[in-house]
Structure 1
Amino acid sequence: MDFTPTEAQQDLEQLTRSIAEKLTTNDRLRELDAAEDRFDDKLWQALADAGVLAAALPESVGGGGFGVLEQCTILREIGRPVSPVPYLSSIVLAASALAEFGDDAQQDLARRAGAGTAILTVALAEELNLDPAQPVTRADRSGDGWTITGTKITVPAAAFADAILVPATTPEGVAVFVVDSSAAGVQIDRQSTTDYSAESIVDLSGVATNQVLGGVERGSEVVGWILDRAAVGLAAQQLGTLERALELVAEYARERVQFDRPIGSFQAVAQRLADAFIDVKAVRSTLWQAAWRLSENLPAEAEIRTAKFWAADAGHRVSHTVIHVHGGVGLDRDHPVHRYFLAAKHNEFALGSATEQLRRLGQSLAEIPA
Structure 2
Amino acid sequence: MDFEYTDAQRELSGLARELLADWAGRHPRPGDTGFDPDLWRAMAGAGLLDAALPERVNGGGYGLLEQCGVLTEIGRTVAPAPYSTSIAVVAATLAEFGDDAQVQRWVRPLLRGETTSAPALARDFVAFEAERDGNGWRIRGSQSVVADAAFADGYLVEARCGANSMLLLLDRGADGVMVSGQHVVNGTDAAVLELRDVQVPDQDVISAPEAAAWARRRAVVAACALQLGVLERALEMTCEYARTRKQFDKPIGSFQAVRQRLADAHIDVEAVRLTLWQAAWRESHGLPAESEVDVAKFWAAEAGHRVAHTAVHIHASTGIYLDYPMQRYFTAAKRAEFEAGGATAHLRTLGARLDADLS
- Trace 1:12-161 onto structure 2 (pairs within 5 A): 12-25=12-25, 28=27, 30-33=29-32, 37-62=33-58, 64-108=60-104, 109-124=106-121, 130-131=123-124, 134-161=125-152
Provide the aligned C-alpha RMSD in A.
1.4
Question: Is structure 2 residue 235 aligned with structure 1 residue 246?
Answer: yes
One-letter amino acid of the structure 2 residue matched with residue 23 of structure 1? W
- Output the CA distance in 1 between the equivalents of 2:238 and 2:134: 59
- Trace 1:238-317 onto structure 2 (pairs within 5 A): 238-317=227-306
Q: Pick which of 272-281 and 154-163 moved more.
A: 154-163
- Output the CA distance in 2 between the equivalents of 1:52 and 1:214: 25
Secondary structure in structure 2 of the residue aligned to 1:30: coil
Question: Is structure 2 residue 326 aligned with structure 1 residue 330?
Answer: no
Q: Pick which of 109-118 and 298-307 moved more.
A: 109-118
1:54 and 1:63 in contact (8 A); partners too: no
- Output the CA distance in 2 between the equivalents of 1:304 and 1:197: 28
Shift of 1:189: 0.7
1:152 to 1:250, Cα distance in 2 relative to 1, 3 A: same
One-letter amino acid of the structure 1 residue matched with residue 120 of structure 2? A
Secondary structure in structure 1 of the residue aligned to 2:195: strand
- Output the CA distance in 1 between the equivalents of 2:358 and 2:157: 34
One-letter amino acid of the structure 2 residue matched with residue 5 of structure 1? Y
The ranges of structure 1 where at least 4 consecutive aligned residues each deviate by more than 4 angstroms after the TM superposition are none
- Output the CA distance in 1 between the equivalents of 2:16 and 2:6: 15
1:325 to 1:52, Cα distance in 2 relative to 1, 3 A: same
Cross-structure match for 2:157? 166
Offset from partner CA, 1:106-130 (integer Å, 9 cap, x none):
11121221222221110126xxxx4
- Output the CA distance in 2 between the equivalents of 1:104 and 1:95: 13
Offset from partner CA, 1:287-324 (integer Å, 9 cap, x none):
00000001110001111000000000010000000000
2:181 and 2:188 in contact (8 A); partners too: no
Match of 1:347 among 328, 332, 336: 336
Shift of 1:63: 5.2
- Output the CA distance in 2 between the equivalents of 1:160 and 1:319: 28
Aligned pairs, how many?
Answer: 357
TM-score by length of 1: 0.93
- Output the CA distance in 1 between the equivalents of 2:70 and 2:321: 29
Offset from partner CA, 1:188-230 (integer Å, 9 cap, x none):
0110010015111111000000245431xx33x1111001111
Q: Pick which of 69-78 and 40-49 moved more.
A: 40-49
1:57 and 1:65 in contact (8 A); partners too: yes
Percent identity, aligned pairs only, is 49
One-letter amino acid of the structure 2 residue matched with residue 32 of structure 1? G
Secondary structure in structure 2 of the residue aligned to 1:201: strand
One-letter amino acid of the structure 2 residue matched with residue 207 of structure 1? V
One-letter amino acid of the structure 2 residue matched with residue 214 of structure 1? I
- Output the CA distance in 2 between the equivalents of 1:229 and 1:193: 22
1:124 and 1:152 in contact (8 A); partners too: no
- Output the CA distance in 1 between the equivalents of 2:281 and 2:299: 17
Shift of 1:60: 1.8
Shift of 1:32: 1.4
Cross-structure match for 1:3? 3
1:75 and 1:88 in contact (8 A); partners too: yes
One-letter amino acid of the structure 1 residue matched with residue 314 of structure 2? V
Which consecutive unaligned segments of at least 5 residues does structure 2 have? none
One-letter amino acid of the structure 2 residue matched with residue 78 of structure 1? I
Cross-structure match for 2:206? 214
Offset from partner CA, 1:302-349 (integer Å, 9 cap, x none):
110000000000100000000000011112122100100000000001
